[in-house]
Amino acid sequence: MSSALHDTGTANPAHVAIIMDGNGRWAKMRGLPRQEGHRRGLEALRRTVRNASDLGLSVLTLYSFSTENWRRPHAEVSFLMGLLKHFVEKDLSELADANVRVRIIGNREDLPADLRRLVEHAEARTADKTGLILVIAFNYGARDEILRAARKLAAGVAAGRLAPDAIDEAALSASLDTWDLPDPELVIRTSGETRISNFLLWQSAYAEFVFTPVLWPDFDRAAFEDALAQYRGRERRFGGLGAAALRSVDVA
């Protein structure tokens, strides 16, 4: 049986995805406005990108703004949009100099034209970089992503370009926003919440999950390394038997 199906977790994952949660609670605990929590969250984002590069990860995906986040108060949404613009305008050159490639996943059709141009510029500016791939999930929801993929495949069938029985897992994966990326091996959620909130539902089918009580603005190198250590301590079975069970079967 292929060793790839029985990774003992001795190495760091190539792709880590993070649900950045807890900015509001961080601010509330300190008697500060929510905006300050988001500002400190942006600092944590920068710190995490640097740490991911230092730790040798290949892909880092960050859940920055979901399709459901539009329901938040208008002032908070406007502030978050401003933070995104600030991040791209201020950090893009630094990311490019660090050989980081930026990828944005999510529904772009619903974005204002200026944000759509910003997203496209960020990707084009770093398209030739060969280091860490930084994936920003913006205006992203996994159900929305899967629906868009299904419609794309249905359109192919309707146009006669695709046979219905040719639609398999590979075809659906190739129609997702992450078509050119490996699936995450580790998903981290900060703030102590233990749900995945419509994030990478298809791609994280066999990912390991770490739920840490650390609020996102406090997520530092130590918290990151602790999550990676938890991953390395697990045995990934992908629905099969563990190594110990396989050894007992072989002996029998």
Q: Any idea which residues carry the catalytic annotation?
A: 21, 69
* Cβ partners under 8 Å of residue 172, min gap 6: 146, 149, 150, 153, 202
Q: Which two tokens stand for residue 51?
A: 């740490």
Question: How far, in Å, CA of 165 to CA of 149, rounded?
Answer: 16
Question: How far, in Å, CA of 135 to CA of 248, rounded?
Answer: 41
Question: How far, in Å, CA of 12 to CA of 79, rounded?
Answer: 35
Question: How far, in Å, CA of 34 to CA of 45, rounded?
Answer: 16
DSSP calls for 122-167: HHHHTTT--S-EEEEEEEE-HHHHHHHHHHHHHHHHHTTSS-GGG-
Task: Kindly report the three-state secondary structure assignment for every residue of 185-199.
Answer: CEEEECCCCCCCCCC
